[in-house]
A = this chain, B = another copy of it.
Amino acid sequence: MPRIITRNAAAPQGGYVPGLRLPDFEGARAGFAAGTDTPRALLERGLAIIAAREGEVRAFAHLDIEGARVAADAATARHAAGRALSPLDGCPIAIKDTLAVRGMPGEMNSAIFQGHVDTLDAACVGALRAAGAVILGKTQVPELTIGRAPPTRNPFDATRTAGASSSGSGAAVGAGMVPVAIGNQTGGSLIRPSSFNGIYGFKPSWGALNVAGMHAVAPSQDHIGPMAASLADAWRVAWEISARAGGHNGHPGLTGTAAPPAALRPLRLAFLRTRGWAELDAATEEAFLGVRHALEAAGVTLVEASQDGALAEAERLLLEADRISNDIIMYEARWPYGAWLAAHGEAKMGEAVRARIAHGFTMTPADYRRALAERDAIRRAIAAIGARVDGFVTLASSGPAPQDGAASDQAGAHLKTGSRSFLSPWSMIGGPSLSLPVMAVDGMPLGLQLMGLPDTDAGLFAVATWVDGVFGE
């Protein structure tokens, strides 16, 4: 049996227990059917946790409690009438402040957008509403998603960061305030906070979920995805978005079935030892070794570079992954960041943002073309391995959430979130990746990252469901 731990207002904040299971929407929905629970009651349980913990965690940039109650009541009535709009009807969801929600502020922690209220729902938000989801509010992001850290604190230890740009979404789910939040990832912004906050992060294949209505950073690597209390919740949210809003840029949307894929035991997983592995601390290394032994004991072969020349070549190419990914992101991000700077001036854009975008303006078209060619070479190398394994595995972050103290709240403070080398590869490759909360280090959660080739989302989910089961029982 999975260990089910309900964190709520009454529960003391404690160290993270690996294999922790937050109450998820899939479980709550069973209660709706049985008549023992309702969407409104579920929402109120989350609001109680928010009331108790938000003062410290600061996951939200905006809360629409009254709007959420109205939506939850409507969902409650639909469930009572046996007319649920979808398997997500009544699911409370928080939206990262990079995505437009009609009638809510969209400020991205930036002076430029202070007071801005969006008039439209982003495509994914409209899809979630149509599926009956309860849109509870907007979650914190660093300034313009790449600068000064937000005030958000890790729900397991308030002296630690909640992650990168989807930190508000990660903390809201990790604290048990909502079963699901929407995040987005361009360089690693969804998988890392999922690791830090002990939740399931799912970055679907590039293009599989419509990003329309999101503030673009680098269109060729921008992804949106769910950060959730369970794999089932993550899958259902991704699926309902895809079914209603489709993919983007000619991607036909998520493959698979509406129901979460059933567990499937992998035979072989490629163990990707990226550059950051050399810098891991002993406790993190040991946590991964424990996972590795458990997988091997369950009959899974972990293929290493020493046994596979193609994997060795891929790891060699990936030594440059952080630089390549940063080149691509910062070249593409020249718009809108450069246009914002031109229109609003330095006074309205923090030093950290300006420092990060400067690189893109030093690049030439030839530099960008070279970075794209390097990315293509990595994609080819990974594709060659992918045909022989059932997925790839690595850590979802270079360790548990680091302590960043009060620094994160100061202007110009940079995120202290560890090596990017665990995140850059799959942001560039565009395949699905998942963070599973199956490890703990220093009483803090640490995610295992599973990755697949582009458009193998359902297959990877089946493998992840099996892997998760190894640690949840």
Contacts and interface: CB of A to CB of B under 8 A. Distances in A.
Contacts of A102: 339, 342-343
A35 interface: no
B252 A368 contact: yes
Interface string A246-274: 10111011000000000000000000000
10 A-B pairs with least C-beta separation: A220-B250, A252-B369, A123-B335, A120-B339, A212-B335, A219-B249, A220-B249, A119-B343, A253-B365, A120-B343
Interface in A219-265: 219-220, 242-243, 245-246, 248-250, 252-253
A418 interface: no
B248 A126 contact: no
Contacts of A120: 336, 339-340, 342-343
A332 interface: yes
A91 to B, nearest CB: 20
A70 B253 CA distance: 48
Contact of A335 (B210, B249, B342): B210
A350 interface: no
B369 A245 contact: no
A128 to B, nearest CB: 13
B216 A212 contact: yes
Nearest to A253: B365
B246 A368 contact: yes
Count of chain copies: 2
Size category, A interface: 35 or more
A89 interface: no
Interface of A: 102, 119-121, 123, 126, 210, 212-213, 216, 219-220, 242-243, 245-246, 248-250, 252-253, 328, 331-332, 334-336, 338-340, 342-343, 365, 368-369, 372
Given A210-B335, A242-B365, A245-B335, A372 B121 contact: no
B121 A339 contact: yes
A372 B342 contact: no
Among A210, A331, A332, A372, find the residue whose CB has the most chain B CB atoms closer than 10 A. A332
Given A252-B372, A253-B365, A365-B242, A339 B126 contact: yes
A38 to B, nearest CB: 27
Contacts of A331: 246
A212 B336 contact: yes
Nearest to A252: B369
A245 B368 CA distance: 11
A126 B338 contact: yes
A216 B123 CA distance: 13
Nearest to A127: B335
A126 B250 contact: no
28 contacts: A102-B339, A102-B343, A120-B336, A120-B340, A120-B342, A121-B339, A121-B342, A123-B335, A123-B339, A126-B335, A126-B338, A210-B335, A212-B335, A213-B335, A213-B336, A219-B249, A219-B250, A220-B250, A245-B335, A246-B334, A248-B332, A250-B328, A250-B372, A252-B368, A252-B369, A253-B365, A253-B368, A253-B369
